[in-house]
Structure 1
Amino acid sequence: MNDDDHVARIEGILPHRWDLDALRSGAAVCATLAVPFRIVAAIVDSDSGGLNALFFVLFVAFFVVGAGCAAWVQRTGTPLSHALVTAIGTYAFVEIVFVAIRLVRGTQIPWFSIFFTLSVISAAGVIGGFLGSRLQAQGFVPSSRR
């Protein structure tokens, strides 16, 4: 059986474009692991560039993990799409909440920073999608499918 047959068989079992369980799983990982670093960075609001960089790197790294999770557990044959939607969707939701808080508090909204981070998170989604796809290709399956 070639790769096309395998994908066609998976698409036949799950005819929907999006595996909502995979998206939820990836978003839960992002929200649980990455978002706390975003919150801590906002609370600490350090003048230390090193500390801010550490929080940012951890934030992005856990987005790679969350996007990779979504890519790995999806069952529709579209790991990159699931990883990107997970990373971008979760980040957008988190930033909408932070923008709303800033609007209520009357503080300045750093639009450039938000869109720059969105591009970094998109790259993290691509990396996570590649890693999740590689896990599937190597035969590693989530425990829920054993």
Structure 2
Amino acid sequence: MAKRTNPFIEDFIPQSKVHVGMKQFNNNEDRLKKVYEKTLLLLFKGAKKCPAQDITSEENALSATQDKQDKLKQLFIGKDGTLLHSGNMVDNKLSVKQCSCGGGVESQCAYCDMNLCGGCQHVCVRCERAHCLCCTMIGLEGSEVCVSCYS
């Protein structure tokens, strides 16, 4: 026997489930435009904090001390959003290592790599490595134990 025909075929609209999550909600053009404008605003605010006079004075000091072998350049964002070419890249190796108290560096903390002088280093009883005050705990009987050995 054949199926009956549907008498309500003219009024029938096929339904489907559509899930709209936060990602789909936020990915419309208006919201993306607002995010883009906010990002540009934050970049321009950061560029205003670094005046051009300081950049040029640092450029002159760095170019005098660094070799010309390095072809890499440091770029800065100008006040109008353009990129400024302002000299060689800053080399982190030029900094003089000192302990936080101002003494000469004898070792580094084995846990957090902080520079330590002879007065600031604490030797762990168990692993016998030098640690800073923040990474040292007082164990049983007043002995100094590092954070990694403390249990």
Tell me if TM exceeds 0.5. Answer: no
TM range (shorter): under 0.3
Structure 1 or 2: more helix by fraction: 1
Q: Which has the larger radius of gyration?
A: 2
TM-score (norm 1): 0.25
TM-score (norm 2): 0.25
Structure 1 or 2: more strand by fraction: 2
Q: Which has the higher contact order (CA 8 A, sep 6+)?
A: 1
